[in-house]
Structure 1
Amino acid sequence: MKHLVFLLLPFFTLSEVVDNFSKCSEFFLNNKPPEFTPATGNTVKHICQCLWGDKKQQIYLYATLYSTTWKIPIYSAYVFGSPNIGRCDAWYIEPQLDGDTKPKCMQPKGKDKTIGTNQALNCDYADSDYDKGHLYPVLHTNNHLSMLATSTLTNAAPQDPNFNQGSWLKNERDVMKDLKSCDKAYVVTGVVPNLDEEKMNEKVTVSKYYWRATCCQKKNQQDIQKAYYGPDNNDKVQEVTILELEEGLRGFFNVPFKIFPTIKRQRE
């Protein structure tokens, strides 16, 4: 892993908490994020996940809608890339979520005791029964910058280890094979929280379902959309239509949820 350490040297990890996704709209189909307004009592933050390049320029890599109420992301949106280059498990937090005066740079851990009020920390996962489940997975990256940027706790939720390392990992690989022939593919991956489950470390809401929606674009062809969620009762991943997934999300969140809002779909 020495080469990964070397690659880290020219870059500083950064993510920017913003009012909306206008700075990183390129990660959404037709530059439009999902239509979703959280219900009263669920505070969310828009995060443009990015890095400082060696020329001191911001390089945006994906977008995340993060719930500071549940301390997990609602979704992360990205443009699919593959193959990936390996993995480095240096997990970061986002100081900005705990105060406007905090530095923008992601930090490996929170030395400031005020950090952690609005987000999960590494220590919350220690001795727990859950994995840090990526929304934007390493397998769907194709460069070391994107790979590094996925390992922030704002892009992860507590996930059952068997599901994370089993059927959900298989789905990530299946989607990778499915999308690699696309000219361009947009992906939105999200979490449905389990509000009936005891919170991890009495603080972080665990995930009940993970879901993923993809849109594959090929020249002179109609966009191909697919959707998945899991676990079902057999701890498997189910493939459903985008409409069925949106109806399920609407039923849970009790508000409209349209993943690809610029696409008109008829009820199937």
Structure 2
Amino acid sequence: MYPSIHYISIYLNIKSFFLYQSHRLLVSLCFACPLVTMKMMLSLVWLLIAIAHKAEPFISENFTECREFFYNQSFPQGFQNISPPHHINHPNLPDGIKAKELTSPAYICQRYKNIDYFASLYDRGRRVPLYSAYILDRRPTDKCIPGRQTRFNVEPQLVDRKLNKAMLSQSATKGEIQKHFKIKNIQEALERLRTSQAVSADYGITGYHRGHLNPVCHHKNQVAQDATFTLTNAVPMNSSLNQGQWNVYEKKMIEIARDCNTTYVVTGIVPGNNSLNDRVNIPSHVWSAYCCVDNNGKPIRSGAGLANNINYPVKVISVSELEVQLQRLIQYISFSIFQNKCS
């Protein structure tokens, strides 16, 4: 998410304050205590500088807070330019929501229980993620933990950047909205949430699943699997595709990652021309690309899959071919998913 000028100003003021105090501390120690070593003083100064950095609000610009989920810490290019501004008329915005807060896209470091598990580029205008980037850490010998949860969380900071930094349930987020904006009407809190993103009611009885871009069973522990249950990681996916050919392809990816030290994955969509309830875009296609590297970070192999959002077989192609197909389907000049195409 892009930080506003206000937040940048606060960050710089805090940072300047700590740097100034660090300088004063260093000078005081030099004069007041000759037994204090230079090494100890420098350690104290670096500690204060680190605190200054930690004071930065959790608003990721270009995923600077969660680079580890991208191959070579390099972000996909082109997708940020196809996300339209939020289409809601400014006079119709609920009180307390500013038009600039709805600028698209939003760069989300997906935080669950104070840990970042993956990253999503969220299209606020279409109310869907354009892609999610993650590390596939499950191997064929690992079992997908049974008893998966069914509740999808939402992202409080899409409503207001002063709210919780981690995904929360819809009810907990409405409570935070009421407390932060000092409103008693739960319906008003829900409307503020609906303005900023998709909610569970958008899916209802539509024939579409809340399809994970970062799938549950590409992770080997319960918490990482639970972290995928957020609507900022879900798109309207044809139920037959989600349970059929796309599910088959996701399982094949686990086999592909068998001998990889690290497997970086980016899974995304091609926005379609229709939407659920005139709110949530229904993708025309779903795609996924992987980059498998050895223990030195060198690419071993890469590949991709592209599927129409119906139950057609997944077309298995190269990363280069996927980028060409995305250029054709989205009609944008160019896309780059991995640095040097993972080669």
The TM-score, its normalising length taken from structure 1, stands at 0.84
Change beyond 3 A, Cα 1:253–1:47: farther
Match of residue 143 from structure 1: 221
Query: After superposition, where does 1:179-218 map in structure 2 within 5 Å?
Result: 179-195=257-273, 197=274, 199-218=275-294
Match of residue 165 from structure 1: 243
Match of residue 238 from structure 1: 315
Distance 1:77 1:121 in 2: 22
TM-superposition CA deviations, 1:104-156 (whole Å, max 9, x none) = 33232253221111211001011112100000001101111211110000000
8 Å CA contact 2:157, 2:163 repeated in 1: yes
8 Å CA contact 1:63, 1:77 repeated in 2: yes
8 Å CA contact 1:38, 1:253 repeated in 2: no
8 Å CA contact 2:241, 2:309 repeated in 1: no
1:228 to 305, 316, 320: 305
Q: Cα RMSD (Å) of the superposition?
A: 2.0
1:100 to 161, 171, 186: 161
Match of residue 10 from structure 1: none
Change beyond 3 A, Cα 1:25–1:126: same
8 Å CA contact 2:122, 2:131 repeated in 1: yes
Shift of 1:222: 4.5
Query: After superposition, where does 1:58-69 map in structure 2 within 5 Å?
Result: 58-69=114-125
8 Å CA contact 1:39, 1:255 repeated in 2: no
Instruction: Give the SS at the match of 2:115.
Output: strand
Instruction: Give the SS at the match of 2:65.
Output: helix
1:31 to 54, 73, 86: 73
Change beyond 3 A, Cα 1:186–1:160: same
- Alignment of 1:123 with 2:201, yes or no, is yes
Shift of 1:161: 0.2
Distance 1:40 1:51 in 2: 25
Unaligned residue ranges in structure 2 (runs of 5+):
1-57, 86-103, 175-188
Instruction: Give the SS at the match of 1:246.
Output: helix
8 Å CA contact 2:219, 2:225 repeated in 1: yes
**One-letter amino acid of the counterpart of residue 288, structure 2:** R
Shift of 1:168: 0.3
Instruction: Give the SS at the match of 2:158.
Output: helix
Distance 2:301 2:212 in 1: 24
Unaligned residue ranges in structure 1 (runs of 5+):
1-15, 53-57
Match of residue 256 from structure 1: 334
8 Å CA contact 1:67, 1:73 repeated in 2: yes
1:76 to 104, 123, 132: 132
8 Å CA contact 2:286, 2:309 repeated in 1: no
- Alignment of 1:85 with 2:145, yes or no, is yes
Shift of 1:102: 3.0
Distance 1:164 1:218 in 2: 31
Instruction: Give the SS at the match of 1:163.
Output: helix
More divergent stretch after superposition (75-84 vs 24-33): 75-84
Match of residue 50 from structure 2: none
More divergent stretch after superposition (152-161 vs 17-26): 17-26
- Alignment of 1:47 with 2:108, yes or no, is yes
Change beyond 3 A, Cα 1:264–1:225: closer
Distance 1:246 1:201 in 2: 30
Shift of 1:219: 4.9
**One-letter amino acid of the counterpart of residue 229, structure 1:** L
2:63 to 21, 25, 31: 21
8 Å CA contact 1:38, 1:255 repeated in 2: no
Shift of 1:89: 1.8
Change beyond 3 A, Cα 1:192–1:49: same
8 Å CA contact 1:17, 1:45 repeated in 2: no
Shift of 1:85: 2.3
Instruction: Give the SS at the match of 1:49.
Output: strand
> Structure with the greater relative contact order (CA < 8 A, sep ≥ 6): 1 or 2?
1
Change beyond 3 A, Cα 1:62–1:233: closer
Distance 1:19 1:204 in 2: 24
Distance 1:108 1:219 in 2: 37
Matched residue count: 243
The TM-score, its normalising length taken from structure 2, stands at 0.66
Distance 2:59 2:230 in 1: 13
